[in-house]
Amino acid sequence: MGLLSGLNSHAQDRTDSLIINVGKSKIIFLVRDKQDLETLKNYDLNEILKQLSLKLENDSTEQALVKEQNGKKTYLSDTTIVVEEPEVKVAEQREVQRYEYKDRDNERDEHWRTKRFIKGTRHYFNIDLGTNNYVQDGNFPDETDEPYTVRPFGSWYVALTSTNQTHIGGPLYLEWGPSVSWYNFKFQNDRIRVIDGPDANIFEEDTSLPNADFKKSKLTVAYINFSVVPMFSFGEPERKEKKDFWDWKDWNDDDDRGFRIGIGGYGGYRIASYTKVVYKEDDDKEKDKNKDNFHLNNFRYGLRLQMGYRGTDLFFNYDLNELFAEGKGPQLNAFSFGLTF
């Protein structure tokens, strides 16, 4: 940069000048357009002044003098320093471009250019952990002291889910995928045994071991399932760069997703079922495990309600069909609820 002279009137009409008084000296900037002004912001003024000082020291003995009066020297030519345009890092360029938008009268344009719904399909591995129970004609069996009454604490529901999240449009997503789940119905009476009779199940109390200390009695049913749940997400997730595999917290805190809610359906097929009775007799711990179908329905289907915030969801599953085959056991509709991690 330097002190320029001899500009014609046409050039003066197209430029604007910025004059900085420094003592008896002046620093003059001639700016032709806004782009030059934006470029000027990237220069280091201290570095320019440093180069000016070196230039003056090197050239002071070589330049022709107009006159020397009272010990003051006036040089014929001005000093011009050419400074190369500084490099702008790629990351900085991207950051500048990220916040550029055409319609400057609409403040929301910048928001929608930086905050976008994540399109396509993403995959998660989730775990459903909660409790399960069943109802009979809308009532819990404990209201009529039925032998198959379930103890809420200890009747755990567990599901391992391979979840895919597909963007449909706007705030609408579709969560779908297979899972493996386990119902654990822990009976209130630890002596209850489930007997798979030829015509129907029989729930009866074990009186053959009066001195035994019964610890637990339960019925476990495992299913392989497939669920589809449309979800409305009221957050505005931001496109995120790929995380390192070990940054599990960053993966889980995907975290501009905000509040979401949805309801859908599921279907499943029974792959295993058994009863387990644990008791203690003569200081020896015994386990009776019996694998059978217990007249259970092979298929299950129902509705799933899901809502969440950030990386955690609440779920509620309700089986529309009965747990046991018609006429082979009590008319029970199973349900489960808990957290999805």
Query: Is the pLDDT higher at 333 or at 87?
Result: 333
Cα 214 to chain centroid distance, Å, stands at 45
Query: Is there a single domain that holds both residue 280 and residue 161?
Result: yes
The parent domain of residue 327 ranges over 121-340
Given this model, what pLDDT does residue 64 score? 43
Shared domain for 151 and 195, answered yes or no, is yes
Q: Among 67-71, 246-250, 337-341, name the one with the lowest average pLDDT.
A: 246-250
125 and 79 within one domain? no
Question: What average pLDDT does this structure show over 2-21?
Answer: 55
The reply to whether 206 and 59 lie within a common domain is: no
Distances from the Cα of 87 to the Cα of 29, 31, 43, 312, angstroms: 21, 20, 10, 44
Q: Which residue has the higher pLDDT, 139 or 246?
A: 139
Reported as a pLDDT band with limits 50, 70 and 90, residue 70 is low
The pLDDT tens digits for 181-203 are 999 999 999 999 999 999 999 99
pLDDT bin (cut points 50, 70, 90) of residue 42 is: confident
C-alpha span between 29 and 123 (Å, rounded): 56
Last residue of a domain, one of 117, 138, 173: 117
Same domain (yes/no): 285, 332: yes
Confidence of residue 58 (pLDDT cuts 50, 70, 90): low
Mean pLDDT of 154-176: 95
Q: Which of 68, 87, 106 is the last residue of a domain?
A: 87
Domain count, the chain: 3
pLDDT for res 258: 81
More confident: 218 or 113: 218
Q: What is the DSSP string of 198-236?
A: SSSEEEEE--S-TT-EEEEEEEEEEEEEEEEEEEEE-S-
| 268 and 283 co-located in one domain | yes
> Could you give phi then psi for residue 9, rounded to 5 degrees?
-65, -30
Same domain, 128 and 109: no
Query: pLDDT value at position 73?
Result: 55
Q: pLDDT tens, 227-241?
A: 999 999 886 544 334
Q: Which of 118, 105, 337, 155 is nearest to 242 (CA)?
A: 118
Confidence (pLDDT) at 20: 75
Co-location of 96 and 210 in the same domain: no
Q: Are residues 28 and 15 in the same domain?
A: yes
Residues 29 and 173 in one domain: no
The reply to whether 201 and 320 lie within a common domain is yes
Contacts with 25 (C-beta within 8 Å, 6 or more apart), sequence order: none
Instruction: Extract the runs of DSSP E, i.e. beta strands, from 36-113.
Output: 65-69, 72-75
| The pLDDT of residue 49 | 74
What is the mean pLDDT of the segment spanning 101-120?
50
Nearest to 157 by CA among 272, 323, 317: 317
| Shared-domain flag, residues 10 and 66 | yes
Q: What is the pLDDT averaged over residues 2-7?
A: 42
CA angle (36, 39, 42) in 5-degree steps:
150
Residue 325 has pLDDT above 50, yes or no: yes
pLDDT band at 35 (very low <50, low <70, confident <90, very high): confident
Domain limit, last residue, from 69, 87, 105: 87
The arithmetic mean of pLDDT across residues 130-143, rounded, is 96
